[in-house]
Structure 1
């Protein structure tokens, strides 16, 4: 049975000049708090242990930081398509997107064995510390499970490609056989599933209350499937040692660009009843801005400061994750005959040590891959603005979109003729 729609604090309806993307990213926090409070009350009524150990951690994770870019892009899509007045539906859609992002991050950290997220332990690391036998008994050491000691970030083995953290047939049924690491991984899979279920519930409730509900749900379903396809292609590329530009861009588009920018724009536009021309212009703008976002994220993964990004540096290099940055470096190294770069960037079966990571980073610079990706990021950001202009959105909305692209891509694409 569907519950009542929460009331949005603040000016959910009023002068459009006061309803901006920054306002939306602030207001969505209130919506998330209201939605999660209701879900937690429901969870406590189901089971106290599940609620305390899992549901409360999922809620805290979703509320802990995040740029809320997907909410902001959904807002821009809504405004570009003529959306105005009552903003409740678009804010609830934004909240659903943030819950979906929580699912994606939790599962991504499990698959990448990443110990940190948003400036703290990744959820599977935190949950490992909740092992009923206690972390000391599970790991044979004293003290809690640390982010540094948890798991190993590295190439995808045949075993982990199929069943990371699974309980072996030999140990199944043996009391205490599930280690803290396995417990944390398995619990985190459930936590991600829970975030996805909450996201789906919220989006469905919003669609049922909207005259554009069918269009909204169509975009949502497509986005969920694209995310899974992109994540699998990412795993497959790591396991196969792929290096091609085309495959790297396919993964970037499916795994990140569409669900970060393109689909949120389309979700907002659907709520406003956008015409086909506006929708296609937003899709094109979202594709370019989303790829620019992912290219910047790849650069931060190789050269960023964890104190600023809130996640580990070098993980992508240690595991030789296929990104457009790596693919460009391999291509340029081969073209220039840089054998050292070819060797250090070649597929390998093990996690790369620190000195190899430093050599990989040097190869990204020396081959010109970093410069190429930085230039491509700026080109894509500028192209996103050109496509967005084709929506016919007013200058205020275009300026907001430009500011969001700058935040996402780390560049300032501001052609004067597009922002007047």
Structure 2
């Protein structure tokens, strides 16, 4: 597989979905303001919607959006445009909710190249930190309720709306449980790799890959449960590869491109894939350095560079890239089996997109 050609093609396909969806998303927020029942005398209520809209439209790569549209295309000649558009809107509103709360949990100042919603509130009312926290939490909750409301408001058949809501609630619940598990792992010393895989599955893969696949097939009026095991294997492998890429970029990525600081995982003491491996392989002297830096909020850039160098000395960065590619290939091979029931062009997309995800920003 020519990774350059595949990456370029996937980039074009995803960009096309992203651009079309951006217009739909803008139209959604414009329409919402015409019918939204917020307290007329409130300043904070409309501001909360402004902040959801700002983060949502600031956007990202829109991989989830591409997944839902391409999943509908797996079944040729069927599908409802209103259903797939509703699914895409719901997915991205749920993602906005997850990002807002994730940045509160991580005390993250930036997101998607701009201030996180939490820090936007903190900057606006610096003398009211508890109010800033509360407003950020409630703004995230607003995005969650909107992700379900958009389904309820759509003129979909009752069975489809009910099933779509069920899938979204399942994805949201899995992600919340994954967030809890993610915090728990920092109390467990050096976790097993299987534990990191499980955190990734619940926290990211199920909402980022599995749910869009399910909803896209649902929009094609197909029952995703007919392919449940294969969809889950694909989402799991794709999610693990993507998390390994994110962990790599959190140490070695360009902050101007990723939109997130490349020091956060070290200063927060997160036991990511590369941190776990280097803790197991470091010498006693290196372990002293790691223990003195990891989890120290005031660690200097030079301290973080020391951690990076130890990781490089043990070639953990290279091993991580190898593992990332291995899991991406597993996802691609799983998608290849869909050719027995899926449309060829859409199957090719799901075979190629793990390569795109692996090579993106590297």
Taking the TM superposition and a 5 Å limit, the aligned residue runs for 1:4-83 are 22-43=15-36, 45-47=38-40, 48-82=42-76
Q: Taking structure 1 as reference, are residues 83 and 371 closer, same or farther at Cα in structure 2, changes over 3 Å only?
A: farther
Instruction: Confirm or deny: 8 A CA contact 1:81 1:278 kept in the other structure.
Output: no
Structure 1 residues 344-367: Cα deviation after superposition (integer angstroms, max 9, x where no partner): 444966425123322221222222
Q: What is residue 321 of structure 2 aligned with on the other side?
A: 374
Counterpart CA distance in 1 for 2:78 and 2:20 is: 16
Structure 1 residues 32-67: Cα deviation after superposition (integer angstroms, max 9, x where no partner): 222222333344753341344211121111111211
Taking the TM superposition and a 5 Å limit, the aligned residue runs for 1:294-309 are 294-309=243-258
Counterpart CA distance in 1 for 2:170 and 2:315 is: 36
Q: What is residue 395 of structure 1 aligned with on the other side?
A: 344
Counterpart CA distance in 1 for 2:175 and 2:270 is: 17
Q: What is residue 342 of structure 1 aligned with on the other side?
A: 287
Counterpart CA distance in 2 for 1:364 and 1:204 is: 49
1:289 and 2:238 equivalent?
yes
Q: How many angstroms does 1:231 deviate by?
A: 0.8
Instruction: Confirm or deny: 8 A CA contact 2:332 2:352 kept in the other structure.
Output: no
Structure 2 residue runs of 5 or longer lacking an equivalent are 1-12
Q: How many angstroms does 1:109 deviate by?
A: 0.9
Number of aligned residues: 343
Counterpart CA distance in 1 for 2:84 and 2:174 is: 21
Q: What is residue 9 of structure 2 aligned with on the other side?
A: none
Specify which structure has the bigger relative contact order, considering alpha-carbon pairs within 8 angstroms and separated by 6 or more residues: 2
Counterpart CA distance in 1 for 2:77 and 2:23 is: 21
Q: What stretches of structure 1 move > 6 A for 4+ residues in a row?
A: none
Taking the TM superposition and a 5 Å limit, the aligned residue runs for 1:17-416 are 22-43=15-36, 45-47=38-40, 48-82=42-76, 84=78, 86-131=80-125, 135=126, 138=127, 179=128, 181-206=129-154, 208-209=156-157, 211-272=159-220, 273-274=222-223, 276-333=225-282, 338-346=283-291, 350-351=296-297, 353-354=299-300, 355-392=302-339, 393-410=342-359
Counterpart CA distance in 2 for 1:314 and 1:353 is: 9
Higher helix share: 2
Counterpart CA distance in 1 for 2:332 and 2:188 is: 36
> Under a length normalisation based on structure 2, what TM-score does the superposition of the two structures give?
0.86
Specify the SS of the correspondent of 1:351.
Answer: coil
Structure 1 residues 71-119: Cα deviation after superposition (integer angstroms, max 9, x where no partner): 1112222222446454221122111111111111111111111111111
Instruction: Confirm or deny: 8 A CA contact 1:92 1:202 kept in the other structure.
Output: yes
Q: How many angstroms does 1:251 deviate by?
A: 1.3
